[in-house]
Structures are given as C-alpha cells and as structure tokens.
Amino acid sequence: MSEKLFNEQKVFDAIAAIEKRKKIKSYFIHIGLFIVTFITTTLAGVEWTTGQLPPYEFNLLVNGLPYSISIMLIITFHEFGHYFAARYHRVKATLPFYIPYPTIPYFINFGTMGAVIRTKSPIYTKKAMFDIGIAGPLSGFVVCLAILIYGFTHVPSIEYLIQIHPDYFSSEFGKDGYKLVFGDSILFSLLRYLLADHNNFFPPMSEIYHYPYLCAGWFGLLVTSMNMIPVGQLDGGHIAYTMFDQEKHLKISSISTIILAVFGFTGVIDSLLEINLGIGWSGWLLWAFILYFIVKLKHPPVPDAAALDKKRILLGYVSFIIFVISFSPTPLILKLI
C-alpha cells in the first residue's frame, strides 16, 4: 500500500470513529431523555392518582406507573410511527427526543411535553410527506383508544375515590377552593356513553384525573388534536399540504389558526370576566401565537406535483375526522367552588 493510500485510509478510519462516537452519544441522549421522562411522568401519575404533592416515599411510586406507562406508550407509538414511515421512504430521521416536564407544585403537570423526531434529509415526494405525517398520529391514536376503552371498562368502585377524598360526599368538600375540570371531546363523551357502567358510580370530569387510564387517554386525545391541527408543519399541516395544493393549504392553515385564536380569546374573556360561557381556553390563544410566529402557517414546498392516490386521500379525510372527534374547545377549566 502506498503512503498516500495509507494516509487516506487513516483519514477514513478517523472519520468513521468520530461518526461512531457521535452515534453512541446520540443513543445515550435518547435513552437518557426516555428515562427522565418516564420518571417525571411517574411522579405526575402519583400526584394525579393520590392527590399528594412530592416528596414521595418510594413505595408510593407504584401508584404512578399505570399513568406513566400509558402516557409513554401513546407518545412512543406516535413518534415511532413517524420514524418507521421515514425509514420506509429512506428519509434519514433521528430517534425520538422525549421531553420531560418536572413536577412543579400547584402547576398542572402531565410529566411530559411529548416527544419529537427530526428528519435529517430532504423529503422529495408528497407521498413520503403524507405517510410520515399521518403515521405518527394514527399510531398514537390507536394506542390511546385502546387505553381509553380499558379505562372506561375498568373504573374502580367509589371507595377508590373516597380513599383520595375522604370528605367527597361532605357539603364542605372543596368549599371556597378551586376544582380542575377536564373538558369533553366528542370521542371521550361517546366512549363514556357506550362503555361506562351507568348503574354504578362514574367520576365527573372534575375527578377524571385521579383515574390513570382515563387521564392518560384524555391527554393522548389532547396531544393528538394539537398535532392534527392543519397548520404549517404540524402533522395535520403535512397531511393537508399533500392532499391539497399550497394555496388551499395556506387558506386552511389561516382559518384554523383564526378559529383557534377565537377559542383562546373567548377563554381569556371568560376567565377574566367570569361570565361562564363554558367554551374556550386561554391555552389555545398561546398555541395560536406559537403556530403563527414560530411554526408558521405556510408549509415549505415539496418538489413534487404528483397527486396522492385515492387510498391516501381517504385516509387523510379519516385523520381529519379523528382530529374533530378528539378536539376539545375547552380542555381545561379551573372553577371556584
């Protein structure tokens, strides 16, 4: 081997070694974030199911596992839906970056802000963009639906809630305090109507968060609907862009953001003036601002003029139905008792 070839081989080996170290380091980051998020969701699960604030004794942590496992399953299936669709279309993508959210006393805490993957190579076809965009929410939705079905068919007896609130049936329960009420969606209310045992006690929406499978499923529907809003580069935005042309997508994106802002503004007014409209949430106003100023309404162009096939078009409309039935105009309400 000549000296030139020998030196070139050394360079290639050095580059390969650097890439290998980067890959190993990235694995540690993904695994580390997964572990931390599992811990924070478990702590959130303990808080939701017991009503107690940290610090917790070690043996109490088991109470948070049904919630944390359910949440992590929904998030993981969602993100790996994107990941495997990207791999199928030979688009380079990272493994999921899980986003932990630490337990902060007196703050509404689900233990996580979800997860994201990042594509590392361009997406050249609308078919690939559609498949990658829709695979995540559909995968997460299926798991979320399964968890909700289990939750609605396995509601514990009233004694479970009395262990958390011994004075639940007292006239003094929660007096002069605030109660957190989870807002209904079409799907959540339909499942409750079809699956709940109406001959036995079923918790009101102000107590749903004490029931880990119902709480995790409710949160999964909220996250699914937030991702499926047909704006910019959200999952719903990818789907709408590939189903329609860029001009139509921008109109849909703009109208969706305006509707979201209206729901948010209504929620703010309702909170400030206490007029009890019962519709709207201030969080939607924040989300509308994020979509407009950070995510952006316009979808980056994909250099592909080919239309989607009929099966994908049909699946796209199914995904929008999922969005509608999962969306809650008023997901969170804080009421003074």
Number of domains into which the chain is organized:
1
pTM of the model: 0.92
pLDDT at 108: 84
Q: Is 176 left (phi over 0), alpha (psi -120 to 50) or beta?
A: left
Q: What is the mean pLDDT of residues 46-60?
A: 88
pLDDT band at 141 (very low <50, low <70, confident <90, very high): very high
* CB neighbourhood size of 151 (10 A): 23
pLDDT at 12: 59
Cα 12 to Cα 19: distance, rounded to the nearest angstrom: 11
326 Cβ contact partners less than 8 Å away, ≥ 6 residues apart = 141, 185, 186, 187, 221, 222, 224, 225, 228
Residue 25's domain comprises: 3-336
Q: pLDDT per residue over 312-331, tens digit each?
A: 999 999 999 999 999 999 99
Q: What is the mean pLDDT of residues 137-157?
A: 97
pLDDT at 7: 56
Query: Which DSSP letter does residue 334 get?
Result: E
Higher-confidence position of 141 and 8 = 141
* CB neighbourhood size of 239 (10 A): 27
pLDDT of 291 > 90? The answer is yes
Helix axes 3-50, 65-88, angle to 10 degrees: 150
